[in-house]
Amino acid sequence: MPLTDVAIRRAKPSDKPQKLTDGGGLFLFLTTAGAKSWRWKYRVAGKEKLLVIGLYPDVTLAMARAARDDARRLLASGVDPGVQRKAAATARTGINPDSFEVIAREWLRGRQWVPVYKKKVEAWFENDVFPAIGARRAAELRASDFLGIARKMEERKAFESAHRVMQNCGQVMRYAVATDRAERNPVADLRGALVPSPEKNHAAVVDPVQLGGLLRALHAYTGTPVVRAALQLMPLVFVRPGELRAAEWAEIDLDAGLWSIPASRMKMRQPHIVPLARQAVAILQTLKATFPTDYAGPYVFPGLRSDARPMSEVAVLAALRSMGFDKDTVTGHGFRATARTLLDEVLGFRPDIIEHQLAHAVKDPNGRAYNRTTHLVERTRMMHEWADYLDLLRTGNVVALRPDQGA
């Protein structure tokens, strides 16, 4: 039976690699770590061969089928698609088709990023990475090769960029593993080896072990129901504290699991949609049940002294401090940085999808702001997976980054 988008999204890793067949030799290969790659099985002179098409979801089901059909036409004309791809890669770069640069450029072509950000990442690779290791086979690279690149960036005080470049290198190496051109991702071994960025904005917890402890503390908070609900909801929705504090029931559709924030309350003055996972809906339903039946105030989190005003802007901070979390450990705004980091580095969501959900100014190729429903299906999936991941951290079932994750 041919695959469907729903079946692909629902496919989960197991203790053995899986092959999900679509038809015509095309199948989706699912690793034990959760990576999904499209592959096409074909024969040349009676010998079975394999063509790796690309990673899902960067390569959609429709795109994979189109690539399979193109490859079949090449094969029918007497051209081996695998040989043709390697020859084309070599012609473009003049280097080995299994080299880090060739693999990185393949990976970059699959990124559906906004042009400005994609250009920035490409510049990092061309200026800092390719001159050092671009011509070498990805399978031969070691952690020390990547550390050398990071150290040179640190020498010029580009600490934050060094972290981002190593994260991207880790994603390239994971792609190399998924496409059978490397055995493992050595960038994962750099965890903790890079110089921390001296820049400090809003304090945030980005270590999974520490985050699990923080989440347990939030759920054990015994203060007022309003503040308790706000504390538990903040990591799930990672909106700005002022946006959460002033939330109104009229904006929230619990049945649909959507929170629509009007432009007037958004920093960028653009309306914003926050998909609500089942955990977020349950928190709001529990909170609503604590209100008197005749409550007529508009606010989800009303003030302690007046229903006509939202809760104090210091209420959440005061609760965090009462639990022993100082300003250098966590802030209400810091949950946004927590989500941005772990959604990218652990759950592997595209940076532009994350930026959309953070309500940052992401532009289309013509320089126009995307509307609030852009990537809503993918954002909804992301918010549900994020909530499930937080549950795993809170219950202690996940305590660290997976070993296949990049630095």
Domain boundary among 27, 59, 93: 93
Instruction: Report the percent of the chain where pLDDT is more than 70.
Output: 87
Is residue 201 situated within a structural domain? no
**Band (20; pLDDT cuts 50, 70, 90):** very high
pLDDT in tens, 357-406: 888 766 544 444 555 667 888 889 999 999 999 999 888 765 444 444 43
Is residue 256 situated within a structural domain? yes
Together in a domain, 89 and 104: no
**Band (353; pLDDT cuts 50, 70, 90):** confident
Give the model's pLDDT for residue 142: 94
Query: Which CATH number covers residue 148?
Result: 1.10.150.130
Together in a domain, 371 and 300: yes
- The DSSP-derived string for 24-83 is TTEEEEE-TTS-EEEEEEEEETTEEEEEEEEEETTS-HHHHHHHHHHHHHHHHTT--HHH
Together in a domain, 274 and 376: yes
Together in a domain, 305 and 388: yes
Residue 36, pLDDT > 90, answer no
Say if residue 89 is exposed, middle or buried (CB neighbours under 10 Å; 0-12, 13-18, 19+). Answer: buried
**Band (87; pLDDT cuts 50, 70, 90):** low
Together in a domain, 322 and 346: yes
Residue with tokens 């809503």: 376
Number of domains in the chain: 3
Together in a domain, 240 and 318: yes
**Pairwise pLDDT comparison (294 vs 407), residue with the higher score:** 294
Query: Which CATH number covers residue 17?
Result: 3.30.160.390
Is residue 251 situated within a structural domain? yes
Give the model's pLDDT for residue 6: 87
Is residue 404 situated within a structural domain? no
Together in a domain, 54 and 132: no
Give the model's pLDDT for residue 81: 82
Domain boundary among 121, 155, 190: 190
Is residue 221 situated within a structural domain? yes
Is residue 141 situated within a structural domain? yes
Give the model's pLDDT for residue 358: 86
Together in a domain, 69 and 166: no
pLDDT in tens, 167-185: 899 999 998 988 888 999 9
Together in a domain, 286 and 379: yes
pLDDT in tens, 234-287: 999 988 888 888 899 999 999 999 999 888 887 766 788 899 999 999 999 999
Domain boundary among 159, 190, 221: 190
Is residue 389 situated within a structural domain? yes
Together in a domain, 170 and 251: no
Is residue 83 situated within a structural domain? yes
Together in a domain, 104 and 89: no
Q: Which residues of 180-189 are buried (b: 16+ CB within 10 A; e: fewer)?
A: ebbeebbbbb
DSSP H/E element including 258:
strand 258-261
How much is the average pLDDT of 59-88? 82
How far CA 380 is from CA of 153, 258, 374, 394, in Å, comes to 37, 9, 11, 21
List, by residue number, the catalytic residues: 240, 267, 333, 336, 360, 370
Query: Which CATH number covers residue 306?
Result: 1.10.443.10
**Pairwise pLDDT comparison (330 vs 52), residue with the higher score:** 52
Residue with tokens 């190399």: 176
Residue with tokens 């929705």: 237
Together in a domain, 23 and 53: yes
Residue 149, pLDDT > 90, answer yes
Q: Which domain holds residue 57?
A: 5-93
